[in-house]
C-alpha cells in the first residue's frame, strides 16, 4: 500500500510535518529572475522549511523551456557536392 500521503515529514528539522500549501517560487530563466506566485509547495509547520512540489516543478520547467518536448534533431551535414574553395576557377 503506497498511497500518496497528503502530509510529509520534514527532512530539515526531522520533527515537523509538511503540509501542501503554496509559496512564491523564484527561479532563474537564463539571466532573468522570474517569480511564480502561488506555486505548490510543501511547508513545514515547525521550521517552515519549504520544498516545492516536484511534479509542479517538472511542469513549470516544461512551460519555461520552449524546446522541451521537441525531439532533438541531429545536424545532418549536406553531401560533399561542393568542391573545396582552395582553387577558385580562373575568371
Ligand atoms: Zn521542519
Distance 34 CA to ligand 1 centre (A): 26
pLDDT per residue as tens digits for the range 58-67: 988 888 777 7
Confidence band of 86 (pLDDT split at 50, 70, 90): confident
Distance 64 CA to ligand 1 centre (A): 30
* pTM metric for this prediction: 0.59
Q: What is the CATH number of the domain that holds 18?
A: 3.10.20.860
The helix (H) or strand (E) run that includes residue 7 is strand 7-9
Q: What is the dihedral of CA 76, 81, 83, 88, to 10 degrees?
A: -110
- Examine residue 69 and state whether it is found in any structural domain, yes or no: no
- Examine residue 20 and state whether it is found in any structural domain, yes or no: yes
Nearest in space to 51 (alpha carbons), one of 62, 60, 40 = 40
Domain with 46 in it: 7-64
Nearest in space to 8 (alpha carbons), one of 39, 59, 46, 61 = 46
Distance 1 CA to ligand 1 centre (A): 26
pLDDT per residue as tens digits for the range 20-63: 999 999 988 778 888 999 999 999 999 999 999 999 999 888 88
- Examine residue 43 and state whether it is found in any structural domain, yes or no: yes
Q: How many domains does the chain have?
A: 1
- Examine residue 34 and state whether it is found in any structural domain, yes or no: yes
Looking at the predicted structure, is the pLDDT value of residue 7 above 90? no
Q: Looking at residue 72, what is its pLDDT?
A: 66
Distance 16 CA to ligand 1 centre (A): 4
Distance 12 CA to ligand 1 centre (A): 5
- Examine residue 2 and state whether it is found in any structural domain, yes or no: no
Amino acid at each position: 500500500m503506497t498511497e500518496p500521503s497528503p502530509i510529509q515529514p520534514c527532512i530539515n528539522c526531522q520533527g515537523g510535518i509538511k503540509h501542501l500549501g503554496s509559496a512564491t517560487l523564484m527561479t532563474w530563466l537564463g539571466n532573468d529572475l522570474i517569480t511564480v506566485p502561488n506555486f505548490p509547495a510543501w511547508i513545514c509547520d515547525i521550521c517552515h522549511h519549504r520544498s516545492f512540489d516536484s511534479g509542479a516543478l517538472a511542469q513549470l520547467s516544461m512551460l519555461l523551456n520552449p524546446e522541451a518536448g521537441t525531439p532533438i534533431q541531429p545536424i545532418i551535414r549536406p553531401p560533399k557536392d561542393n568542391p573545396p574553395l582552395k582553387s577558385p576557377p580562373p575568371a
